[in-house]
A and B are shown apart, each in its own frame.
Chain A
């Protein structure tokens, strides 16, 4: 059996070169592969293309949590549906990087999901009605099909995907947790190399086949999150309480 389990996050990202494209979900800290993000920061590669649903600044210190936005200084190009938090000036925090040459391609959550699906499935693109008459249609081919207007959206096929799973078996079968599944299954399918950090790695057979969400064929490397790593249950619970102490977060995240 080919070994997919890596001993460290640094080894798991060791071959990622400058200029690589990487899909990383970031819809809340526990749904972000934070340990792999940290390893990529240590590696210091540059000129990356990041594909992420939400590119938002963290409200925590870097020791507490990392979102995909922690890679900002290493990016050449960003494809996302959300830049920043409206209450905190939306995209203002990326402006200095845009002035220095960062390209930002805005899309919508649904369009991004369908483009990743197209990439995964080997399709040449998707005709999507979302975005007709908006900034999303700029520079893209449009076509009328059965009387309705569509925009040609190109597939996304990232070099790598960083995934966080609740549980992985040694064959790479994955189970997620709660709403932190988000768009990770299609990111894992679309990427050429999928790297997973898992709260728990178990033997093959310990996950009920009926419960597997991402089958192991889509997973190349797995690293277990250590006690002191990002995204453990204990650490995530502490973050909830920390959110309660941050006024802007309290207003946004609790009723």
Chain B
């Protein structure tokens, strides 16, 4: 078996998409790991009404947990200089006015950039919507950080999403353990592959046809 990037390395690659001065909202799971690798000057937003917070509190430092400051997932975080608190209406105006970049996880992404990431079943109560739909529609840029295939080895980049949609035609860039793929007007553009992988091998694990970008290269961190 060829080596794939581990979750932290996917997060590290996704983090390179953010620059000093960007405002970012990170989804739960893999995307939240990006916080560890993001360059200085990136300001985090949390949809429960917080901008510019510091690192999350680690499991072994509960005494540091600042009772009145949690992120949207309820995780404790440390206040940072210049932090702002506000209500949820203001928070979702930040999201819907296209001022933020978001990094989200996904169950499936379609050829057109449709995103399914809130419910892995057919029952509407089998998942939670939260603020994911708002982020997917409103963000300036939607970056997906995920594994390329399911645990069973099936492609997560598909012709049409089977799972309930989060939003239509919203994804800009997909970063996986095998590749970096841009959702472009002409189709899915394969820009980077994991070290040791070929475009053909990535294609074999991807349902829609990939267009190999000029200057295809190995993923660099």
Are A81's CB and B68's CB within 8 A?
Answer: no
Closest to B87 in A: A185
Q: Which residues of A contact B134 (CB under 8 A)?
A: 108-111, 130
The winner among A94, A113, A135, A241 for most chain B CB atoms within 10 A is A113
Q: Which residues of B contact A244 (CB under 8 A)?
A: 59, 62
A126 and B92 CA atoms in complex are apart in Å by 14
Least distance between B64 CB and chain A CB atoms (Å): 10
Closest to B161 in A: A133
Least distance between A168 CB and chain B CB atoms (Å): 17
A81 and B74 CA atoms in complex are apart in Å by 15
Option from A91, A131, A135, A182 in Cβ contact (under 8 Å) with B49? A182
Please list 6 pairs of residues, one from A and one from B, whose beta carbons are closer than 8 Å in the complex, sorted by A's number. Answer: A81-B128, A107-B129, A109-B130, A110-B131, A240-B65, A255-B56
Q: Which residues of A contact B131 (CB under 8 A)?
A: 81, 108-110
Q: Which residues of B contact A254 (CB under 8 A)?
A: 56-59, 62, 65, 75-76
Contact flags A27-38 to B (C-beta < 8 A → 1, else 0):
110100000000
Closest to B88 in A: A183
Summarize A's interface: helix, strand, loop or mixed: helix
Q: Which residues of B contact A85 (CB under 8 A)?
A: 128
Closest to A109 in B: B131
3 nearest A-B pairs in the assembled complex, by CB-CB distance: A91-B125, A178-B68, A110-B134
Q: Which residues of A contact B86 (CB under 8 A)?
A: 181
A250 and B69 CA atoms in complex are apart in Å by 16
Least distance between B192 CB and chain A CB atoms (Å): 28
Least distance between B136 CB and chain A CB atoms (Å): 8
Asked whether any CB of chain B lies closer than 8 Å to the CB of A106, the reply is: yes
A86 and B56 CA atoms in complex are apart in Å by 20
Q: Which residues of B from 102 to 128 have beta carbons under 8 Å from A?
A: 114, 119, 123-128
Q: Which residues of A contact B57 (CB under 8 A)?
A: 254-255
Option from B89, B127, B168 in Cβ contact (under 8 Å) with A185? B89
Least distance between A231 CB and chain B CB atoms (Å): 11
A104 and B125 CA atoms in complex are apart in Å by 9
Asked whether any CB of chain A lies closer than 8 Å to the CB of B73, the reply is: yes
Q: Which residues of B contact A94 (CB under 8 A)?
A: 125
Asked whether any CB of chain B lies closer than 8 Å to the CB of A123, the reply is: no
A184 and B133 CA atoms in complex are apart in Å by 21
Contact flags B123-164 to A (C-beta < 8 A → 1, else 0):
111111111111001100000000000000000000000001
Contact flags A100-136 to B (C-beta < 8 A → 1, else 0):
0000101111110110110000000000011111111
Are B166's CB and A134's CB within 8 A?
Answer: yes
Q: A98-B125, A182-B48, A255-B75 are in contact. Are A133 and B168 (CB under 8 A)?
A: yes
Least distance between B108 CB and chain A CB atoms (Å): 13
Closest to B164 in A: A135
A210 and B15 CA atoms in complex are apart in Å by 38
Q: Which residues of B contact A132 (CB under 8 A)?
A: 137, 167-168
Are A108's CB and B126's CB within 8 A?
Answer: no
Asked whether any CB of chain B lies closer than 8 Å to the CB of A1, the reply is: no
Asked whether any CB of chain B lies closer than 8 Å to the CB of A95, the reply is: yes
Asked whether any CB of chain B lies closer than 8 Å to the CB of A217, the reply is: no
Asked whether any CB of chain A lies closer than 8 Å to the CB of B70, the reply is: yes
Closest to A120 in B: B89
Closest to A244 in B: B62
The winner among B50, B62, B65, B68 for most chain A CB atoms within 10 A is B68
Asked whether any CB of chain A lies closer than 8 Å to the CB of B1, the reply is: no
Asked whether any CB of chain B lies closer than 8 Å to the CB of A233, the reply is: yes
Q: A90-B125, A134-B165, A236-B67 are in contact. Are A114 and B92 (CB under 8 A)?
A: yes
Asked whether any CB of chain B lies closer than 8 Å to the CB of A75, the reply is: no
Least distance between B144 CB and chain A CB atoms (Å): 17
Are A91's CB and B126's CB within 8 A?
Answer: yes
Are A84's CB and B125's CB within 8 A?
Answer: yes
A182 and B46 CA atoms in complex are apart in Å by 11
Q: A109-B130, A135-B124 are in contact. Are A180 and B68 (CB under 8 A)?
A: yes
Are B125's CB and A131's CB within 8 A?
Answer: no
Q: Which residues of B contact A237 (CB under 8 A)?
A: 67
